[in-house]
């Protein structure tokens, strides 16, 4: 996750004349750390969408929810509890093979959203009531 934009994204930006706009957006909103405002936003959320990829490259997006603030913050890491609603363990299994994940937090009322891309691993040492396991995400891109 060294460069924010891929060569393919850059090619489209050049084709449609949006490279300068895209660069301005990156400078204005992309960070490698959670700001205090980001932390407060996450603490108020009751749900998110989690994007993972399996070993074959097949993506999946899952809804994850809980009580307000169910995603905890530990230093710079996010802790996402797995409450195992359907027994499939798609996202958690995917993280065991491919650590790159994306989280999308949305406030539908304001509307506001926050994306967090990073590397995740399963952490069985963190006790969160009701969780069968916890995903620990180290942010690489916050926007």
pLDDT digits (tens, 9 = 90+) for 42-73: 999 999 999 999 999 999 999 999 999 999 99
What pLDDT, on the 0 to 100 scale, is given for residue 127?
85
Check whether 1 has a pLDDT greater than 50: no
Check whether 2 has a pLDDT greater than 80: no
pLDDT in tens, 82-131: 998 788 999 999 999 999 999 999 999 998 999 999 999 999 888 899 99
Around 20, how many Cα atoms within 13 Å sit in the side-chain half-sphere?
1
Domains of the chain: 1-30 (no CATH), 34-142 (2.30.110.10)
What pLDDT, on the 0 to 100 scale, is given for residue 79?
97
- CA 38 to chain CA mean position, Å: 12
Query: Following DSSP, what letter does each residue of 82-137 receive, concatenated?
Result: E--SSS--HHHHHHHH--EEEEEEEETTTTEEEEEEEEEEEETTS--TT-SEEEEE
Q: How far apart are CA 66 and CA 89, in angstroms?
A: 17
Tokens 């691993």 -> residue: 121
Check whether 25 has a pLDDT greater than 90: yes
| Nearest 10 degrees: Cα torsion 43, 49, 51, 52 | 80
Enter the pTM of the model.
Answer: 0.91
Strand-by-strand arrangement of the 47-53 sheet: 59-65, 47-53, 100-107, 112-123, 133-142, 77-82, 72-74
48 CB neighbour count, 10 Å cutoff: 22
- Are 51 and 104 in contact by the 8 Å Cβ rule? The answer is yes
């Amino acid at each position: 996750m060294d460069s924010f934009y891929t060569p393919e994204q850059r090619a489209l930006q050049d084709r449609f004349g949006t490279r300068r706009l895209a660069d301005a957006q990156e400078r204005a909103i992309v960070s490698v750390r959670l700001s205090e405002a980001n932390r407060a936003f996450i603490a108020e959320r009751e749900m998110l969408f989690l994007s993972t990829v399996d070993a074959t490259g097949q993506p999946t997006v899952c809804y994850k929810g809980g009580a307000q603030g169910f995603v905890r913050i530990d230093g710079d890491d996010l802790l996402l509890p797995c409450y195992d609603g359907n027994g499939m363990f798609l996202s958690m299994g995917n993280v065991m093979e491919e650590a790159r994940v994306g989280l999308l937090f949305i406030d539908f009322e304001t509307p506001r959203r926050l994306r967090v891309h990073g590397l995740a691993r399963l952490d069985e040492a963190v006790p969160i009531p009701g969780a069968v396991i916890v995903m620990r995400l180290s942010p690489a891109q916050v926007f």
